[in-house]
Structure 1
Amino acid sequence: MTKFVKSNADLPKTLNSDAKQIARAKTLAEAHLGVKAKKAKGPRVQGFFSRTMKVTMDNGEEAIIQFRVKPLDVASFHQARDVLGPVVPNIKRLQDAELDRDGIATYFMTCMPGKTWLESNLWDKWDPKMNVEATKSLGRILSQGYVLGGSEAVVDSEIKGKLEQLLESKNNDVQRFRADIQRLLSSIDKLKYLPLWVSHADLNYLNILVEDSGQVSGIVDWELSKNLPFGVGLSRVHDLAGKYRNRMFHMPKEFEEAERGFWEELFGGIPTDIKRTLLNHLREIEMAVHVGTLLDTLDQGETLNQAALNSLPLLLTYRIPALRGDGAPFPTANT
């Protein structure tokens, strides 16, 4: 069976239709919660490796049942929930002999309130106020991401290794940024001064849930999260405060209000002793954001996102608010 789900036809016979997924999700939810299921429905956009159903029980409770062709590392979910709290869904592997035999891993997750950021702020209905509030709210949540331990090992084994692999890449799109890779690699040991932070691998509009007010109510899909030096996992603030149009990154009028608000809320919620360390290493934080931006764009296999590639030269000039003062976030940007 394929490990990439383009349609229901890529799933085994036990799950190869919406009706089968709905029926199985209701049965599993009933067995797990001990309450009869009323209905089940999938989201507007499904994942590349899964099919997800939101099940509504007779008592009004809602639950998520997910069928995956690739098993999850639930330990990363549990750690993120321990650090960030209930904004991260709880997760449990469910046993289903038939699905297990077909190579499908099944999971129960708590249903998070709100709608995806994408559904709440569609491109043709861009709400500046909502976008600012959501970006600031995300900063408050991520301010709690500190985890014990030093960054030395992850810099040596994870980040340095990925940058070295990119230097060896034969991909022409990667080679365009060879000088940037070398520049960051030459100073990479400076990231060892930064504390570890739990870092989501794909903070995008589909993985963040928000209330109508713009407050972030949930962050999902933590299976690839890692503990990285502070800043490496924060590069998506560009994407969330800004937007892509015609394969290029653009800053709406409210970009700086959202982006500065993100950092203000982030630093405002960090424990005092950890914040003191971070304020002594602002240049290292800015470098960490550049490293995260570069890896997020180039370390994606052979097929790279063209919009991200087109925007990378600009994004690698980013200055964090604490260093740029009243200056522009991207000094080279046309205004």
Structure 2
Amino acid sequence: MRTKQVKHIKKLVSKHLGRTTKRVDRPPTQGMFSRIFFVTLADGREVVIQFRTERLDLDTFKVAKCAFSQVVPDAVALQDEELENIGVHSVTGKDAEGRITVNKSLGRVLSKGYLADNSASSLDEVTTYRPLLRGFLDRLNEISNLPFWVSHYDLNEVNILIDESCEVTGLIDWELSTPKPFAVGREFWIPEEFEVAERAPWNELFAGMAQKTHGMLEKNIDLVQDAVILGTLLDTFFWEDRQVGYGEISMKALPRFLTYRITPVRGDEPPYKE
């Protein structure tokens, strides 16, 4: 582990928590734009310290905290003048001349991005799903009647904390987790044991919610299924510079993802249609 990082961690713990650091560990996998460390304090408490390139948005943590209470950690932004003055938010070349040089260099690099004479092939991929998307326009009012729900946007092993019994004790990194109609914001991925493990969250999700909400969703289970598909489409496509864009990996997986049916709808059948 880098000595400078440990040095800053000890300094932050002492300055903001008034405690000394006993041990610093790092997870096996790190995020793309941050560095996370698990810190054990001298009094036995454990905290997570994250070095970031962007400012921490605490509002999303507050919303999640209201819904999930103990599972969402208390989050504070730690101010440190020394780290802020390093300039991790800036490109090299602080003055105008330096920025112009960087931008010219970027232009030369990105000028090699030619792939084809026109964009027809990629446009065809998008227009294939136009009828499906248009169909959702007529159902937006129906979907808006689903409960307003906050779910975690990026459920992966880095953001899920568990105890020795594999029970979830905490969820971190809530910044992109904005509330949406139930099932629209649910993220899922396919591990090797997917067909066995996939049923568990749906069963526990419905069992753990208020009985009144459960009953309402059961009566509108087809609408919940549609909301899942809508969420999948919204996660694949995006609007940027007045054009529709998409992630290439998501687009390749989309035909299969669109056949996904939630547990209450499909019963004992497989989650995806072959």
Deviation at 1:99, TM superposition (A): 2.3
Counterpart position of 1:313: 255
1:25 and 1:316 map into 2 onto residues whose CA distance is 45
Residue identity opposite 2:234 in structure 1: L
1:322 and 1:183 map into 2 onto residues whose CA distance is 23
Counterpart position of 1:11: none
Which of 247, 252, 267 does residue 304 from structure 1 map onto?
Answer: 247
**When the two structures are superposed, what TM-score results if normalisation uses the length of structure 2?**
0.76
Which of 184, 199, 217 does residue 260 from structure 1 map onto?
Answer: 199
Rg (Cα) greater in structure: 2
Structure 1 residue 208 corresponds to structure 2 residue 160: yes
Counterpart position of 1:34: 18
TM-aligned CA distance change 1:173 to 1:90, over 3 Å: farther
Structure 1 residue 184 corresponds to structure 2 residue 123: no
Which of 255, 268, 273 does residue 326 from structure 1 map onto?
Answer: 268
- Alpha-carbon contact 1:22-1:41 (below 8 Å) kept: no
TM-aligned CA distance change 1:258 to 1:29, over 3 Å: same
TM-aligned CA distance change 1:303 to 1:286, over 3 Å: closer
Structure 1 residue 86 corresponds to structure 2 residue 78: no
Q: Secondary structure at the match of 2:13?
A: helix
* Deviating more after overlay: 55-64 vs 282-291: 55-64
RMSD: 2.6
1:24 and 1:175 map into 2 onto residues whose CA distance is 51
TM-aligned CA distance change 1:52 to 1:204, over 3 Å: closer
Deviation at 1:285, TM superposition (A): 0.5
- Alpha-carbon contact 1:235-1:290 (below 8 Å) kept: no
Q: Secondary structure at the match of 2:19?
A: coil
TM-aligned CA distance change 1:281 to 1:26, over 3 Å: same
Deviation at 1:288, TM superposition (A): 0.7
Counterpart position of 1:217: 169
TM-aligned CA distance change 1:24 to 1:172, over 3 Å: farther
Deviation at 1:101, TM superposition (A): 3.4
Deviation at 1:38, TM superposition (A): 2.7
2:144 and 2:131 map into 1 onto residues whose CA distance is 22
- Alpha-carbon contact 1:290-1:316 (below 8 Å) kept: yes
- Alpha-carbon contact 2:136-2:230 (below 8 Å) kept: yes
User: Residues 1-335 of structure 1 correspond to what in structure 2 (within 5 A)?
Assistant: 18-102=2-86, 174-236=126-188, 239=189, 242-243=190-191, 252=192, 255-299=194-238, 304-306=247-249, 308-330=250-272, 332-333=273-274
- Alpha-carbon contact 1:22-1:53 (below 8 Å) kept: no
Aligned residues: 238
- Alpha-carbon contact 1:196-1:229 (below 8 Å) kept: yes
Residue identity opposite 2:169 in structure 1: S
Q: Secondary structure at the match of 1:94?
A: coil
- Alpha-carbon contact 2:58-2:75 (below 8 Å) kept: yes
**When the two structures are superposed, what TM-score results if normalisation uses the length of structure 1?**
0.63
Q: Secondary structure at the match of 1:292?
A: helix
- Alpha-carbon contact 2:30-2:158 (below 8 Å) kept: no
Deviation at 1:90, TM superposition (A): 1.1
Deviation at 1:256, TM superposition (A): 3.9
- Alpha-carbon contact 2:60-2:177 (below 8 Å) kept: yes
Q: Secondary structure at the match of 1:327?
A: coil
TM-aligned CA distance change 1:190 to 1:61, over 3 Å: same
1:196 and 1:329 map into 2 onto residues whose CA distance is 25
Q: Secondary structure at the match of 1:317?
A: coil
Q: Secondary structure at the match of 1:25?
A: helix
- Alpha-carbon contact 2:237-2:246 (below 8 Å) kept: no
Q: Secondary structure at the match of 1:85?
A: helix
TM-aligned CA distance change 1:40 to 1:256, over 3 Å: closer
Q: Secondary structure at the match of 2:77?
A: strand
Q: Kindly, what percent of the aligned residue pairs are identical?
A: 39
Residue identity opposite 1:277 in structure 2: M
